Amino acid sequence: MKKTMTTTVNDVNGKVIELPIALIYSDDYVANIPQSIVEFETKRRSNKVEFGILVNDKKVIEEHKGCKGFVNMTVDAYKKSTVFSHLHPRRELLIGGTFSCLDLDNFAEFKKLRTYRAVAKEGVYSITKLTNFDPSMVEAYKKYDAKIDKETDIEIDEAKAELNRVHSFLQMQLNIGVMTQEMSDRIYASAEKEYYAKCNNITNKYFVSSHNWLLKNQKKYGYSYGLIAM
């Protein structure tokens, strides 16, 4: 396993994006992935909406186009399949991130489903059940996710409050006539840009924390997990 401190990620258009985050990539991660999954991930990686594919060994059971936040697959197809892959498209300055709680619900629920994958701009997240897989990992992950989700919301609220303070100050300066509208607009635009950058960094930190939890708990819950560079 290789720990990679990275400040850049190639987005789906090949543009280099600077991200102040640290991601752990699993150079030694091994999963027996059907060629149809590899082809799907290569073909669909640049799409702006989610796509999903379910495969039973070499046979494609189902493939669907979804929306920006989700893709629906049928329960019957899940029951027949051994591997699922889908996309995690995000806006430019966000990484795609690892599995959601719903992803892990599906991963644990369908016994035949061995491997679950998510294709993102930073690589492919992959999780595979081992013979001693413990489905209680999902509830443990949800508990952790709720904790860091709350912390993330607090940080974003604090950033928003700071932007509001800037707005109030500028409005006061306008009211007493010591600042022009043009100057006020310029200062606020700069503060707003900084606010959105903070929100992106906070959200990326949330995604990285989730990724690290899944890495940390592999042995405890009987699964193999990694992020593979594409």
Distance between CA atoms of residues 156 and 24, nearest Å: 25
Angle, CA of 44, 75 and 42, to the nearest 5°: 10
In a domain, 110, yes or no: yes
Amino acid at 119: V
Distance between CA atoms of residues 144 and 38, nearest Å: 31
In a domain, 152, yes or no: no
**Which pLDDT score is estimated for 10?**
55
**Which pLDDT score is estimated for 16?**
65
In a domain, 39, yes or no: yes
Parent domain of 31: 2-134+221-228
Specify the CATH number for the domain of residue 71: 3.40.140
pTM for the model stands at: 0.89
In a domain, 211, yes or no: no
Contacts of 149 (CB under 8 A, 6+ apart): 206
Contacts of 137 (CB under 8 A, 6+ apart): 104, 108, 217, 220, 221, 223
User: How many other CB atoms are there within 10 angstroms of residue 41's CB atom?
Assistant: 20
In a domain, 139, yes or no: no
In a domain, 147, yes or no: no
3-class DSSP state of 84:
strand
**Which pLDDT score is estimated for 5?**
46
In a domain, 22, yes or no: yes
Q: What is the mean pLDDT of each run of 10 residues along the chain (230 residues)?
A: 53 61 78 86 87 91 88 94 92 87 96 94 93 97 98 97 97 94 96 94 94 96 92
Total domains in the fold of the chain: 1
Of 81, 71, 86, residue with least CA distance to 113: 81
In a domain, 23, yes or no: yes
